[in-house]
Amino acid sequence: MGASYELTATVREKVGKGAARAVRREGQIPAVIYGGKEPPLSINLSSRDVEMKIHAGGFLTTVADIKVGGETIRTLPRDFQMHPVSDRAMHVDFLRILAGTKIRVEVPVHFVNDTDAPGIKRGGVLNVVRHRVELLCPADGIPDAIVADLTGLDINDSLHISAITLPEGVKPTIDRDFTVATIAAPAGVKEELRAAAAAAAAGDEAAAGEAKDAEAPKGEAKK
């Protein structure tokens, strides 16, 4: 997983839309820390610091240690809102992380070794079924991504989740061996495959006809 980072916050005494607007005018973002069998804690954060983390990527999968009121609270961002016009952060929700906490989180899939896939070398196309996979992970052990190795895959082959090595303690939330990607045949190869299948079918029919004629009694007219 990515390294954790620190944010410094102040306790927000007033809540509501008016108080939130006042916070934003001061260059801060209203946020809340919840979970962990404790009451929600309303806080203010530097808008510059939070927006830098959001735009850097991996915001929802990286632990944030928030210093507030003389203590440091270990959290994980779970949701955030952006302004539809200015694209500025408006609000963030953080989940408290306790020892042994496991959470559901979507993690991107990174595909590697496409040059070692015979199907792609033959002109096949990588068809990504799942760009992200939902995993059940320890809150302090979320991978930045999972790596899907395409080595050896040919046209019409599929890559299932069972072929991807996951970190210790991490497992998919879907309880079946689902498809992550396939190697699809390009148009030219599809026509070749159809032609080959048609030729094979015609050959089978001809062979069946010859076998039937051979089995017919001598002198019996062919119907």
Q: What is the pLDDT of residue 43?
A: 95
Query: Comparing C-alpha atoms, which of 34, 36, 62 is closest to residue 50?
Result: 62
| pLDDT at residue 15 in the model | 80
**Domains of the chain, CATH where assigned:** 5-98 (2.40.240.10), 103-185 (2.170.120.20)
pLDDT value at position 208? 63
Q: What is the pTM of this model?
A: 0.70
What is the amino acid identity at position 76? L
Q: Which of 160, 146, 56, 62 is nearest to 108 (CA)?
A: 146
The tokens describing 161, both together, are: 């989740």
Q: Are 7 and 50 in contact (CB under 8 A)?
A: yes
The per-residue pLDDT for 19 is 84
Per-position DSSP letters for 72-134, written without gaps between them: EEEEEEEEEEE-TTT--EEEEEEEE--TT-EEEEEEEEEEE-GGG-HHHHTT-EEEES-SEEE
**The pLDDT of residue 82:** 92
Task: Please name every residue paired with 43 in a beta bridge, in sequence order, or none if there are none.
Answer: 11, 31
Which distant-in-sequence residues (6+ apart) come within 8 Å of 1 by Cβ? 61, 62, 63, 140, 141, 142, 143, 144
Say what the pLDDT of residue 13 is: 82
Q: pLDDT tens track of the chain, all 223 residues? A: 557 899 999 998 878 888 888 888 999 999 999 998 899 999 999 999 999 999 998 899 899 999 998 999 999 999 999 988 888 899 999 999 988 889 999 999 999 999 999 999 989 999 999 999 999 999 888 998 999 999 999 999 999 999 999 999 999 999 999 999 999 988 766 566 677 778 888 777 766 666 666 666 655 544 4
CB 122 within 8 A of CB 190: no
